[in-house]
Amino acid sequence: MTTIQTVAFDDQKPGTSGLRKKTRVFMQPHYLENFVQAIFNAIGGAKGKTFVVGGDGRFFNDRAVQVILRMAAANGAAKVIAGRGGVLSTPAASNLIRQRKTDGGIILSASHNPGGEDEDFGIKFNMANGGPAPENITDAMFREASVIVSYNIVESQDVDLNAVGETTLGGMAVEIVDSVADYAALMEQLFDFDAIRAMFTSGFTMRFDAMCAVTGPYATEILEKRLGAAPGTVTHGTPLPDFGGMHPDPNPTWAHELMDEMMGPDAPDFGAASDGDGDRNMVVGRGVYVSPSDSLAVLAANAYLAKGYAKGIAGVARSMPTSAAVDRVAKDLGVEAFETPTGWKFFGNLLDAGRVTLCGEESFGTGSDHVREKDGLWAVLLWLNILAKRKESVADILQAHWRKYGRNYYSRHDFEAIETEKANAMVSALRKLLADLPGRSVEGMTIAAADDFAYTDPVDQSTSAKQGVRILFEDGSRIVMRLSGTGTQGATLRLYLEKYAESGFDQDPQEALAPIIRAAHELADITGYTGRVEPDVIT
């Protein structure tokens, strides 16, 4: 065991989901080590504890796992459980942390960001409940990282990450586990595999685009092997360190191959994609795209059709920018609905307290109390379970849903890699404007209220301020703006747009939202501040 002297880096501040930087930043001497030591320091040390370690397999994942093993040993951890090859999807890691009753886990991923030596890398800590560390802990990590002077590491040979079974490293137990097995077993408990298998047997067709990322082996095992989907249902199913050059973000822009197939003449019945670390999902029917906010609402309304949720759901939670579609379902079901800041960590307390069963975000994240992360494949399986039980198409289910609840037209516009100063100037100008906005008319619509979203956690009363600017119109339409907390280059402005309709469900969302889009540009002067006229990505 050696103690290495180091110098603090001043930029190790975790964002929406852990610390994300360019891979080369993490590859600098001491950079990863400093942050890992800061994690251990922030959680009161590693002595005697058991952790899960794994990542999405992107470039540098294997090296980082070796470093973490050696540092966990040097910091006195009793045991580390790692996925084979150092790979675990984020939901599978969350599941392992919970199933094995460990003290938490370190997950290596930059989620949906591209991977490779010139792309992105990330690291985050999840607590014993399997969920991302809350803000007081990530703040402590930043404080520790800012004053760090040394870290502990064992000098040793690499552990063979491909040898499933137990070994030791500097007195610490290391267990390498099959990355897929426990997760697949959990899915079998929640969903009616027999009903889904029968649907595939009777000719139901599907495409699952794993985008050369971590979900490939999970999807192949569950969909093709256990549920009998045709071989080849899973495409891009082999995880690659650079995701084969793909941008593993399951949205219509980046999963365009899947979109083209689903909108084409020979589309299968159902399509889905997931992201780099397997926690996001996109769902598409034949000829119809399901927005993540609608997906959450449909899942909440139909969850009872799956055996894991047959008793009904306790409540739902959505991030503030997510559309209110699921709130309408909650009202109908007579259960609580919560509105939280962006980021999965804000769902943890509600899930732990049993106040909510399902939660979701507009950013292609959906999940339930089965783990404490969003879960891409879980959402796909719940959809399959619903399709198997209702025996209707995705398009018909969506139409029926809108007829019952109305439709929340919704879109998000992303303006990426804006110069940070320009983005900050725009947001502070907008914040100054907020108090004067109520009563003002723009694009023929009157503003009812405007604020900067602040949240008080209903379970532990912790507060989070400045979570996004909201401009609410009298007709219930809404504009939300916030800056991304996961990017690694400049600033990304996210503009969220929503409008509720009681009839007329077949409009193109961009057309339905056109006046609201113009209003957002006018109020925030997006072009004036940033020079941008059109968004880079529309979802």
515's tokens: 């006046």
CB of 276 to Zn ion, least distance (A): 6
Task: Catalytic residue, from 94, 109, 111, 464: name it.
Answer: 111
Q: Does position 111 bind Zn ion by CB under 5 A?
A: yes
> Which of the choices ligand G1P, Zn ion, none does residue 292 contact, using the CB cut-off of 5 to 8 A by kind?
none
Residue closest to ligand G1P when measured from CB atoms: 484
> Which of the choices ligand G1P, Zn ion, none does residue 342 contact, using the CB cut-off of 5 to 8 A by kind?
ligand G1P
Q: Does position 113 bind Zn ion by CB under 5 A?
A: no
Contact 429, 525 (CB under 8 A): yes
Q: Which amino acid is located at 524 in the chain?
A: A
CA 73 to CA 67: how far, in whole Å? 10
Our CB check for ligand G1P shows the closer of 126 and 486 to be 486
Find the Cα–Cα–Cα–Cα dihedral 264, 266, 268, 272, rounded to 10°. Answer: -30
241's tokens: 């360190």
CB of 321 to ligand G1P, least distance (A): 7
Q: Which of 279, 361, 369, 373 binds Zn ion (CB under 5 A)?
A: 279
Q: Does position 249 bind Zn ion by CB under 5 A?
A: no
Our CB check for ligand G1P shows the closer of 285 and 292 to be 292
CB of 343 to ligand G1P, least distance (A): 5
Q: What are the E-state strand segments in 57-97?
A: 79-87
CA 396 to CA 80: how far, in whole Å? 47
CA 227 to CA 223: how far, in whole Å? 5
Our CB check for Zn ion shows the closer of 70 and 280 to be 280
Q: Which amino acid is located at 164 in the chain?
A: V
CA 374 to CA 67: how far, in whole Å? 27
> Which of the choices ligand G1P, Zn ion, none does residue 457 contact, using the CB cut-off of 5 to 8 A by kind?
none
> Which of the choices ligand G1P, Zn ion, none does residue 500 contact, using the CB cut-off of 5 to 8 A by kind?
none
> Which of the choices ligand G1P, Zn ion, none does residue 373 contact, using the CB cut-off of 5 to 8 A by kind?
none
CB of 37 to ligand G1P, least distance (A): 25
Q: Does position 94 bind Zn ion by CB under 5 A?
A: no
Helix (H) or strand (E) holding 303: none
Beta bridge partners of 290: 283
Q: How many CB atoms lie within 10 A of CB 315?
A: 20
111 classed as catalytic: yes
CB of 417 to ligand G1P, least distance (A): 13
Q: One symbol per residue from 257 to 276: x for binding Zn ion (CB under 5 A), - otherwise; what is it?
A: ------------------x-
Q: Does position 492 bind Zn ion by CB under 5 A?
A: no
313's tokens: 């759901």
CA 316 to CA 359: how far, in whole Å? 5
The interface region with Zn ion, picked from 277-285, 333-341, 385-393, 435-443 by CB under 5 A, is 277-285
Q: Does position 486 bind Zn ion by CB under 5 A?
A: no
CA atoms 65, 68, 73, 76: torsion sign:
negative
CA 418 to CA 423: how far, in whole Å? 6
CB of 240 to ligand G1P, least distance (A): 21
Q: 384-394 burial, b for 16+ CB within 10 Å, e for fewer? A: bbbbbbeeebb
Q: Say if strands 315-319 and 478-483 run parallel, antiparallel, or are unpaired.
A: unpaired
CA 132 to CA 118: how far, in whole Å? 26
DSSP string, 369-425: TTSSS--HHHHHHHHHHHHHHH---HHHHHHHHHHHH-EEEEEEEEEEEE-HHHHHH
> Which of the choices Zn ion, ligand G1P, none does residue 281 contact, using the CB cut-off of 5 to 8 A by kind?
none
> What share of residues in the chain are helix, strand, coil (percent, to 5)?
35, 25, 40
> Which of the choices Zn ion, ligand G1P, none does residue 343 contact, using the CB cut-off of 5 to 8 A by kind?
ligand G1P
Our CB check for Zn ion shows the closer of 217 and 509 to be 217
CA 423 to CA 526: how far, in whole Å? 9
Our CB check for Zn ion shows the closer of 58 and 328 to be 58
Burial class of residue 37 in the structure, from the number of CB atoms within 10 Å of its CB (0-12 exposed, 13-18 middle, 19+ buried) = buried
Q: How many residues make contact with Zn ion (CB under 5 A)?
A: 5
CB of 162 to ligand G1P, least distance (A): 29
CB of 501 to Zn ion, least distance (A): 31
Beta bridge partners of 207: 271
Helix (H) or strand (E) holding 231: none
Our CB check for Zn ion shows the closer of 119 and 279 to be 279
> Which of the choices ligand G1P, Zn ion, none does residue 277 contact, using the CB cut-off of 5 to 8 A by kind?
Zn ion
CB of 375 to Zn ion, least distance (A): 10
Our CB check for ligand G1P shows the closer of 192 and 373 to be 373
Our CB check for ligand G1P shows the closer of 401 and 494 to be 494
> Which of the choices ligand G1P, Zn ion, none does residue 17 contact, using the CB cut-off of 5 to 8 A by kind?
ligand G1P
> Which of the choices Zn ion, ligand G1P, none does residue 275 contact, using the CB cut-off of 5 to 8 A by kind?
Zn ion
The interface region with Zn ion, picked from 103-111, 152-160, 301-309, 336-344 by CB under 5 A, is 103-111
Our CB check for ligand G1P shows the closer of 268 and 367 to be 367
Residue closest to Zn ion when measured from CB atoms: 111
CB of 296 to ligand G1P, least distance (A): 12
- The SS3 call for residue 155 is coil
Question: How far, in Å, are 10, 59, 100, 120, 345 from residue 145 at the CA level?
Answer: 8, 24, 29, 20, 21
User: In terms of Cα–Cα distance, which of 290, 478, 289, 324 is closest to 406?
Assistant: 324
Distance of CA 241 to the CA centre of its chain: 20
Binding site for ligand G1P (CB under 6 A): 16-17, 111, 319, 342-344, 361, 363, 365, 484-486, 494
Our CB check for Zn ion shows the closer of 280 and 413 to be 280
From first CA to last CA, the distance across the chain in angstroms is: 50
Positions in the binding site for Zn ion (CB under 5 A): 111, 275, 277, 279-280
Which residues are known to be catalytic?
Answer: 111
